[in-house]
Structure 1
Amino acid sequence: MPEEPHRYSELLAAGHSREVVRRQTASGQLKRLTRGVYGPDDSFAARLQATFRRLPYGAVAGFHTGAGLHGFGMSGTRDIHVIVPAGSVVPQIAGVVAHESVLPVRDPVLVAGVPCAPASRCAVDLARVLPRMDALPVLDACLRGGACRREDLASEVAWHSGLRGVCQARRLVQLADPRSECRQESQLRLLLVDGGLPCPEPQLWVPDEAGVPLYRLDLGYRRRRIGLEYDGASHLDRERLRHDRSRMNWLAAHGWRVRYFTDRDLYRHPRHIVATVADLLRS
């Protein structure tokens, strides 16, 4: 049985009769990964490699799929996103989204056995086409995971000049920050900036009297001693709750004003968040 995806014709040429292929497929020894391509397993990596056996020359993984391969994907889709040169003839393949691009992919890399757009290209492409609240977390995650550097993003977004969504991408690249530790922290930061407020500092460390970093806030304005926290599921743990209460008391005693926001605030009452922080900054 082949160890990697092969076309049906290649299996026959290698000595596998039609009956053997049919029997192995029926027994599960061989998986039909896409039309005319078979392999020993139907993992995402195998399906990805099988798909590329049917794509035109010059196709590369990109967008959501490329981001996932580079380690900063934030989409749950199982669709395979590929970039193909403009004018390419792409067969209709279930679960494959082909993005025709007049912009050549610079320096593609081999990841998981398939050609892939560089991390900076995947991040900027997504920053152009996703809603703003989904796009900034992708850029932050790209930098946080070390998939590329800030200057790589700046160079890539300049390469996209004139394309749809590049103005959004350019602005978001300027805001991108590797210090944001989760999607919601990135979104909370963007919400405040879009609301006309100064950009808060991510992962702000508050020192004790000796200047030693003691407590870390998700976001904050250091000079104003204002802290902003996103309360996710981890804050529901009993031991974590005790720690948070102790931290809250210490921060309050040292002049810090901290406000806590949840997913309901972020996604249902964003104006409340902006108004609350604006009031803090004015007071």
Structure 2
Amino acid sequence: MMINVPADDLGVVLRRDLVAAGIHDNAIARLVRAGELVRMRHGVYAVAQQWNQATARERHVMLSRGVVRLYGQDVALSHVSAALVYGAPDHGLPLTHVHLTDLAGAGERTQASVRHHRGGCRVDELSRRGECWITAPTRTALDTAAIVDRDAAVCVLDWFFQQGLSSPEECQYQLDARSVWSDHLDLALKLGYARVGSDSVAETLARLAFLDAGLPEPELQLEVRDQRGWLIGRVDFAWPEHRLIVEFDGRQKYHSMRRPGESIEEMVLREKQREDRIREATGWTVIRITWADLQQPSLLIARLRRYLKPAA
């Protein structure tokens, strides 16, 4: 007999939801054995078809949805888990544990794939997502940056800035308010690397590679206009004093640039024409880089130094 599982849009369902629908423990166990449900942790299940098709990131979000509902109003989804719900990139983020901040002041602990954090939240540091609490964007960005390495932290901070969900000023304000916290200095250093204007993880990592090598900091998203003042485009990185532009070529970028009904070939041709117009309008050198260049940063840096040598 077909059993109607009361799962949500992500395919997540709690044991208590199943019991309330008349599906008790023996029936739940049969559904798990039959491969129709997956037990994510005690009391939290997922529809197997949706779980099996999900990426690691999506599985983390599914588990987060179940866990925060399970714990109720005394916790807020936070750190990495909240960042993923907002849509932040998962580059370098650990996805093994759901992160909760205990609003009732409980101590820090890790149990059954859940990391509980102690830390009070002001009213402006919390938001509602459905029936559950989630830390607000700026608090989420800082909390996440505090527990990951520098590159992953800056990718997250850059994304929150670029999406308009937070800003360097808002982050600095909250950081100053938590100056007594043990992670303050490390977090301040990470925040110092973050910038408004990075459109992707790749652009963030490229900029960090430039800075680590001692190259001058580039301008981000510089507008290039023709003689009539019309906008030709914005470029990823520019060093005007060196007449140098660097553009990152990536699959994600090209997919986001495609117009409705436009083929890949048409989009690539349009981008090449855009680059030609930029070169004609500025007379500058335009260099394109890819993920492969980021895998061999020393070669990339040597290539750029030839153009930046007077100031590098």
Tell me the TM-score normalised to structure 1 length: 0.78
- Is 1:178–2:206 an aligned residue pair? no
* More off after superposition, 40-49 vs 147-156: 40-49
Moved more, 54-63 or 186-195: 54-63
Output aligned runs, 1:236-255, within 5 Å: 237-253=264-280, 254-255=282-283
Give ranges in structure 2 of 5+ residues lacking alignment: 52-58, 256-263
Segment of structure 1 superposing worse, 48-57 or 271-280: 48-57
Asked if 1:68 corresponds to 2:84, the answer is yes
State the alpha-carbon separation in 2 of the partners of residues 187 and 57 from structure 1: 37
The corresponding residue for 1:136 is 154
Shift of 1:280: 1.4
Q: Is the 8 Å Cα contact of residues 197 and 220 (structure 2) preserved in structure 1? A: yes
- Indicate if the aligned counterparts of 1:56 and 1:89 stay in contact, CA closer than 8 A: no
8 A contact 2:109–2:116 mirrored in 1:
no
Q: CA deviation at 1:183?
A: 0.6
Name the SS of the counterpart of 1:74 in structure 2. Answer: coil
Query: Aligned pair in 2 of structure 1 residues 181, 33: CA closer, same or farther (>3 Å)?
Result: same
* Farther-moved stretch of structure 1 (22-31 vs 66-75): 22-31
Residues 1:193 and 2:211 aligned together: yes
Task: Tell me what 1:279 maps to.
Answer: 306
Instruction: Name the amino acid aligned to 1:100.
Output: H
Q: Secondary structure at the match of 1:184?
A: helix
Are residues 34 and 112 of structure 1, via their aligned partners in 2, closer, same or farther at CA, if it must alter by over 3 Å?
farther
Q: CA RMSD in A?
A: 3.5
Give 3-state SS (helix, strand or coil) of 1:125's partner: helix
1:255-274 superposed Cα distances (whole Å, 9 cap, x missing partner): 2112221112112x212333
Match of 2:131 among 98, 103, 113: 113
Match of 1:157 in 2: 175
The counterpart of 2:42, out of the listed 26, 32, 35, is 35
Q: 1:27 to 1:248 in 2, by over 3 A?
A: closer
Work out whether residues 220 and 226 of structure 1, in 8 Å CA contact, stay in contact via their aligned partners in 2. yes
Counterpart CA distance in 1 for 2:39 and 2:203 is 42
For 1:14-93, what aligned pairs fall within 5 Å after superposition? 16=22, 18=24, 21-23=25-27, 26-27=30-31, 34-36=41-43, 47-52=63-68, 55=71, 58-74=74-90, 77=95, 79-84=97-102, 88=107, 92-93=111-112
> In the aligned structure 2, how far is the partner of 1:137 from the partner of 1:63?
14
Q: Which moved more, 1:198-207 or 1:250-259?
A: 250-259
- Unaligned runs of 5+ residues in structure 1 are none
* Corresponding residue number in structure 2 for 1:100: 117
Q: Is the 8 A contact 2:145 2:187 kept in 1?
A: yes
SS of the equivalent of 1:197 reads coil
CA contact (8 A) 1:231 1:260 kept: yes
- Whole-angstrom CA distance in 1 between matches of 2:23 and 2:223: 66
Q: Counterpart of 2:120 in 1: which secondary structure?
A: coil
Per the alignment, do residues 225 and 115 of structure 1 end up closer, same or farther by CA in structure 2, a change over 3 Å counting?
same
Instruction: Give 1:88's aligned amino acid.
Output: G
Partner Cα separation in structure 1 for residue 85 and residue 277 of structure 2: 43
Between the two proteins, what is the percent identity of the paired residues? 23
Separation (CA, whole Å) in 1 of partners of 2:302 and 2:88: 32
Partner residue of 1:261 out of 272, 289, 296: 289
Q: Distance in 2 between matches of 1:169 and 1:239?
A: 44
> Structure 1's 246 and 79: CA in aligned 2 closer, same or farther, altered over 3 A?
same
What displacement does 1:136 show? Answer: 1.2
Q: Alpha-carbon deviation of 1:240?
A: 3.6
| Structure 2 length-normalised TM | 0.72
C-alpha deviation, 1:220, in angstroms: 0.8
| Matched positions, count | 275
* Alpha-carbon contact 2:6-2:21 (below 8 Å) kept: no
Kindly provide the CA deviation profile for residues 97-151 of structure 1, in whole angstroms up to 9, marking residues without a partner as x: x1433x4233322224322122112211222222222221111111222222332
